[in-house]
Amino acid sequence: MVGVSVNMDIKIKEELMEAARIIIRANGGDLQSTHFVDTPDRFLRMFEDELSPNGTIVEALEGMVVEESYDQMVVVRDIPIRSFCPHHLLPWFGRAAVGYIPQGSMVGLSKITRAVSAAGRGLKIQEQVTDEIVKAMDEVLNPLGSMCVIEATHLCTLMRGVKSEAQKFTTSTNSGVFRDQPETRAEFMMLFNRGQGMSW
């Protein structure tokens, strides 16, 4: 994972604050202005909150695994997800849906939300996050199969390149019965699309 520990050393903290000062000075800003005087510190705190790892996806899921199972698909939809594009250092954000079919072990639904949050931290492309979520679900729960779909807006396409405000990007990864059985995958997508897709 790209990023640094929340307990980053003093030297890295100062370098991050200096990076903010350089950007301000490069744009003609006065570092003593009330608008900018606290910006380096706010930038550092934003970096720690949004980019630095705060536990792994697997650790988030392992927090509440129960040894029981039901013969049904479990889907959690409309999970907020945000990350930063490694190509432009700009945010991307959207919603995720995660589903699995248990095989002896289940996880508390809130832990899936925590896992999605952990997956997004750092500098990552959307495809990577989608893939990492499914791999973690499979590692922790060993389900019959799992699936993740993410629909997101990327500021790099709004501000750079094509400069399109309307575009959303959808990625999906699946394993087990979701990959091998089209009807299982179709059931997940029906639940995913219920209510005209992701709600915002």
Query: For residue 120, what are the domain limits?
Result: 57-193
Per-residue pLDDT of the chain (200 residues; tens, 9 = 90+): 334 444 578 898 999 999 999 999 999 999 999 999 999 999 999 888 887 777 899 999 998 899 987 889 999 999 999 999 999 889 999 999 999 999 999 999 999 999 999 999 989 999 999 999 999 999 999 999 999 999 999 988 888 766 666 789 999 999 999 999 999 999 999 988 875 444 44
What CATH number is attached to the domain comprising 179? Answer: 3.30.1130.10
What CATH number is attached to the domain comprising 28? Answer: 1.10.286
The model carries a pTM of: 0.85
Cα 130 to Cα 134: distance, rounded to the nearest angstrom: 7
Query: Would you state the pLDDT for residue 100?
Result: 97
Burial, 118: exposed, middle or buried (Cβ in 10 Å; 0-12, 13-18, 19+)?
buried
Query: Would you state the pLDDT for residue 160?
Result: 74
Quick one: 95 and 40 in the same domain?
A: no
Q: What's the structural domain count of the chain?
A: 2
Quick one: 86 and 139 in the same domain?
A: yes
CA-CA-CA-CA torsion for 15, 19, 20, 26, nearest 10 degrees? 150
Interhelix angle 39-50/10-26, rounded to 10 degrees, is 120
Query: Would you state the pLDDT for residue 193?
Result: 83
Contact 180, 187 (CB under 8 A): no
Provide the sign of the torsion angle of the four alpha carbons 172, 176, 179, 185, taken in this order: negative
